[in-house]
Amino acid sequence: MGGDHGPSTVIPGAELALRRHPDLRFVLFGDEAVARSLLDQAPRLKQQSVFHHCELSVRMDDKPSQALRQGRYRSSMWRTLEAVKSGEADVAVSAGNTGALMAMAKFCLRTMANIERPAIAAIWPTLRGESIVLDVGATIGADAQQLIDFSVMGAAMARALFHIERPTVGLLNIGVEEVKGQDEIREAGRLLRVAETQGLDYHGFVEGDDLGKGTVDVVVTEGFTGNVALKTAEGTARQIASYLRAAMERTLLAKLGYLLAKSAFQRLRDKMDPSKVNGGVFLGLNGIVIKSHGGTDAEGIAAAIDLAYAMAKNGLRDKIERDLNGFHLRISDDVAADESEKSA
Amino acid sequence: MGGDHGPSTVIPGAELALRRHPDLRFVLFGDEAVARSLLDQAPRLKQQSVFHHCELSVRMDDKPSQALRQGRYRSSMWRTLEAVKSGEADVAVSAGNTGALMAMAKFCLRTMANIERPAIAAIWPTLRGESIVLDVGATIGADAQQLIDFSVMGAAMARALFHIERPTVGLLNIGVEEVKGQDEIREAGRLLRVAETQGLDYHGFVEGDDLGKGTVDVVVTEGFTGNVALKTAEGTARQIASYLRAAMERTLLAKLGYLLAKSAFQRLRDKMDPSKVNGGVFLGLNGIVIKSHGGTDAEGIAAAIDLAYAMAKNGLRDKIERDLNGFHLRISDDVAADESEKSA
């Protein structure tokens, strides 16, 4: 029921994804009266899905606390998450209200053992392919331990998604030296360096312009900065697209040139199309939740489902759990060794 | 002496700026042996400038503390700042080491009364023209009072530069509701709203994608987020330029289209050219300092000098001082009124 267009994009999107991955199965939650006729137009999906009617859906402008109060147990959003909890579904996908989805996911699925806070990971298109950036807005601020947790979870996701044995991880920082306040980032960097881990290759600090370059596979930052960076990049891309459009419409020659180079522009548009890379992944919960952009089309919904499919197929949740446990053990060993050295 | 190319871009850049503003006068600091022959090729500048030979120049990779220890009193950077302090110059312009320049500027010029920390303001090209964004990296973190100081200083700069009577000011925030940790931003917003001021029009919160849209004239944030946002936008612009280049070189038709639309592409390149908008402005010190990009060309140096010229002509420093005093008075009145109400 979520997103700006509700079932009218979600259902065709699921049908699209099913064509690409015929072994997908869907558990759908929503208002049957609205969805029924749309499902009739999606014969493949209709056959490969179970539909659960829900009397209530969370609105895009509900406050998280309000959504939780009113929609717990009975809203389509809650019941989608519950399907992951019960094991009926492997992944939850929603285009609904982000704040409400995160609040409900925390309440319903709970954070993993040793994880204080979940993170939202975004897939970032780069000159070298794709990177994972987290946290892009689950929570503001992060201490060294949380930045390390984000690093381990992001690396597990990169392994599941990009099939890289030891993904490179960078901590987002600013280049000005001897500026105060980066203590938690420095401390996280120090710990990542000492705790040699097979699961990730710690690269060091990266800066804002390394995001687009694709300097590392995983960029780690706290949620405020990550969210601003993501929206700034999206805004800049739209700004340049608008300049380009204006420039190409200005003269007859430019218009003609545009026509001739149309396929090249189409390629560029595909590269910049936000619906091609769609889906924020909630990490650190006992279950994988994918948040699609609310304003996306059926193609975007399908992209979010593709992502969910890849995550489930590659056992992301188990990978994260195993890596986190291994890393926490290693860190406590190191700290213990460090302290016994000091007391000796 | 600063920047990646030293006097070989700084001197032609100053000559360029002088052509545009014939009433400019320069006080130059550097190694006379290096600069002399370059000055001979810049006859206008040679006539309109005084040259002070300096035995030492700060290197681009010096740490700020090192630069300060070795270069105080005698480096070309220090003496440039001192020229502003003594009144020999109205503005200092440098393409040198940012960290060293900020450390020396704080030490030499000192912060204005009531200002705890300076900020670096950047000019941000937007769909509606240009905005001012600060702080883009002077210091990490900012409390409510500092965010307010940045707002007042940014608005004064917008008035001096864009000639807008009451510039609109937005506080950079993230859209996720009920996320904790934004207390200082909320408090700054509350104070900006209650303290009705003639100098600025407080708009409210803005997000990362409002930067490119130009939603407000002045965007205020703390230095870590501002620096990441600035570099992310620059990186995204370079990334898209690279996609565009690759797309246009792929087929014969695209190449032909590119040739026909060449002037349109040139317009786009001009729009995206970082040297056209060059210069971070240090605000909150007893004197205006402009930091040019280190990697820029003569055109970029000229743009930084244009900015310095506009600032000096429009009395930026006095405007800031007056606005800050007025605003601090008003805030303390409000707080006093608030407290007497409570105790009544």
Query: A111-278: what CATH class?
Result: alpha beta
Residue among A181, A207, A247 whose CB faces B140 most closely: A181
Average pLDDT, integer, range A156-163:
90
Residue whose C-alpha is closest to residue A144's, from A196, A217, A220, A198: A220
**Residue ranges covered by each domain of chain B:** 1-110+285-313, 126-276+318-344
Average pLDDT, integer, range B259-274:
75
**Vertex A8: Cα angle to A278 and A301 (nearest 5):** 15
- CA separation for the pair B296, B301 (Å, rounded): 7
Output phi, psi for B312, to 5 deg: -70, -45
Amino acid at B331: I
pLDDT of residue B292: 93
Q: A residues 138-157 near B, CB within 8 Å?
A: 138-141
- CA separation for the pair B28, A59 (Å, rounded): 63
Binned at pLDDT 50, 70 and 90, residue A148 comes out as very high
Q: Give this complex's ipTM.
A: 0.88
Average pLDDT, integer, range B110-137:
92
Residue whose C-alpha is closest to residue A205's, from A231, A228, A227, A179: A179
Architecture of the CATH domain B1-110+285-313: 3-Layer(aba) Sandwich (3.40)
Distance between first and last Cα of chain A: 62
- CA separation for the pair B37, A264 (Å, rounded): 48
pLDDT of residue B289: 96
Question: Domain A1-109+285-313, what fold?
Answer: Isopropylmalate Dehydrogenase (3.40.718)
* A326/chain B closest Cα distance in angstroms: 30
Q: A residues 213-242 near B, CB within 8 Å?
A: 213, 221, 223-225, 227-240, 242
CB-based burial label for B64 (10 Å; 0-12, 13-18, 19+):
buried
What is the rounded average pLDDT for all residues in chain B?
88
- CA separation for the pair A285, A157 (Å, rounded): 13
Count the neighbouring beta carbons within 10 Å of the beta carbon of residue B12. Answer: 20
The residue among B276 and B67 whose pLDDT is bigger is B67
Query: Which residue of chain B is at minimal alpha-carbon distance from A180?
Result: B140
Binned at pLDDT 50, 70 and 90, residue B167 comes out as very high
**Vertex A329: Cα angle to A324 and A332 (nearest 5):** 120
pLDDT of residue B291: 94
Residue B69: partners with Cβ closer than 8 Å, 6 or more residues away: none
Chain A neighbors of B139, CB-CB under 8 A: 179-181
Q: Is the pLDDT at B335 greater than 60, yes or no?
A: no
Q: Does the distance separating the beta carbons of A179 and B137 come in below 8 Å? A: yes
Residue A128: partners with Cβ closer than 8 Å, 6 or more residues away: A213, A214
pLDDT of residue B122: 93
- Contact assessment for residue A195 and residue A335, using Cβ atoms and an 8 Å cutoff: no
CA distances from B35 to A22, B6, B12, B30 (A): 71, 9, 11, 7
Chain B neighbors of A174, CB-CB under 8 A: 137, 140, 223-224, 227-228, 231
* A101/chain B closest Cα distance in angstroms: 11
pLDDT of residue A272: 66
A242-278: pLDDT as tens digits = 888 888 887 888 888 888 877 877 777 777 666 667 7
Question: Domain B126-276+318-344, what fold?
Answer: Isopropylmalate Dehydrogenase (3.40.718)
CA distances from A25 to A22, A28, A45, A81, A309 (A): 8, 10, 8, 16, 10
* Size of the A and B interface in Cβ pairs below 8 Å: 245
Longest dimension (CA), chain B: 81
Q: A residues 237-266 near B, CB within 8 Å?
A: 237-240, 242-244, 247-248, 250-251, 253-254, 256-265
Tell me the CB-side half-sphere exposure of residue A47, using CA atoms within 13 A: 6
Helices (H), A163-251: 183-194, 208-213, 223-248
A204-254: pLDDT as tens digits = 999 999 999 999 999 999 999 999 999 999 889 888 888 888 888 878 888
Q: Could you tell me which residues are beta bridge partners of residue B291?
A: B94, B280
Question: A126's torsion region: left (phi>0), alpha (psi -120 to 50) or beta?
Answer: beta
- CA separation for the pair B66, B82 (Å, rounded): 19
3-state secondary structure of B175: coil
Q: Is the pLDDT at B275 greater than 70, yes or no?
A: no
Residue whose C-alpha is closest to residue A205's, from A166, A173, A167: A173
Average pLDDT, integer, range B304-327:
87
Distance between first and last Cα of chain B: 62
Residue among B176, B250, B260 whose CB faces A253 most closely: B260
- Edge-first strand order for the sheet with B201-206 is B91-94, B288-291, B280-283, B119-126, B129-134, B218-220, B168-172, B201-206
Share of chain B above pLDDT 90, in %: 61
Instruction: Note whether A186 contacts B: Cβ–Cβ < 8 A.
Output: no
Instruction: Note whether B97 contacts A: Cβ–Cβ < 8 A.
Output: no
**Vertex B326: Cα angle to B325 and B330 (nearest 5):** 115
